[in-house]
Amino acid sequence: MTQADEFTIARQKMVHNQIKKRDIQNPEILAAMEKIQRHFFVTPEFHKWAYHDRPLPIDKGQTISQPYIVALMTELLELNPVSRVLEIGTGCGYQTAVLAELAKDVYSVEILSELAKSAKARLKALNYRNIHLKQGNGYYGWIEHSPYDGILVAAAPKKIPHRLTQQIAEGGRMVIPVGSDIQELLVVQKCNGKLETTRITGVNFVPMTGKP
C-alpha cells in the first residue's frame, strides 16, 4: 500500500469516526473533508497525526484546528453554492479550502505575512480559483467585498468585533470563538438589522491579534 493510499484511508476514517459520528451530516462538508488532504497543510513531522482529531502546530506559533471543529464551524455557517464568505485567520489555509468547496467566493485575511504568503502558494497549488487572500488586521475584516453571507473567525478575540458584525449580510451568520481564559463558540446572526447571538460550546483557539 502506498502512502497516498494510507492517507486516503485515514481521511475516510476521520470523516466517518470523528465527524459523521458526532452529528455533522451535511454531505457537502463530509465530501469536502474527505477530499482535502489535511497532511498537505502541515509539515512532514506531523503527517502521522494529520487525520487525528486534534489541532496541530503550524508556523509562527499558530495551529490548524481539529477536524471536528472545522466541520462544526463550517456547518454552523449554513453555506450554499452562491454564498460569499469572509474568513479571519487564514493560517495554513485548511479551513479556507473547506469553505471554498462549499461557497462561491472566500475572502480570507491573515495578519501574519509569512502565513499569508505560504497559504496563498499552497492554495494556488491546489488550483482553488474562488479564494481571495490578503495580509491584514482581521479586526477590520475586508470591507471592500462586504457584506458577507458568512463570516468565520479562526482566532479568539476577547469580545465580538464591532467592525465584523457590520459586514454580515442580512440573514447572514458569523461563527466566532470569544474569550480569553474561557472561550465559547458563538453564532451571531443578523435578522431584520439586529444581531442574535447563540452559544454553541466551549473551545480553545489561539488569541486574535491586531488592534480592534
pLDDT at residue 103 above 90? yes
pLDDT tens-place string over residues 42-73: 988 999 999 998 988 887 778 899 999 999 99
Is the pLDDT at 37 greater than 90? The verdict is yes
Residue 90 — φ and ψ, nearest 5°?
A: -60, -40
The set of catalytic residues is 65
Distance CA 92, CA 96 (A): 9
Task: Give the integer Cα–Cα distance in Å for 41 and 45.
Answer: 12
Task: Quote the pTM value.
Answer: 0.95
* CA 72 to centroid of chain Cα atoms: 10
Convert the pLDDT of each residue in 140-150 to its tens digit. Answer: 999 999 999 99
Respond yes or no on whether the N-terminal peptide bond of residue 147 is cis (omega within 30° of 0): yes
The single-letter code of the amino acid at 169 is A
Amino acid at 77: L
Q: Does residue 104 surpass a pLDDT of 80?
A: yes
**Cα gap 205→212, rounded to integer Å:** 18
CA angle 188, 130, 136 (to 5 degrees): 60
The whole-chain average pLDDT of the chain stands at 94
Grid cell 462561491 is found at 104
Read off the pLDDT of residues 123-165 as tens digits, 9 standing for 90 and up: 999 999 999 999 999 999 999 999 999 999 999 999 999 999 9
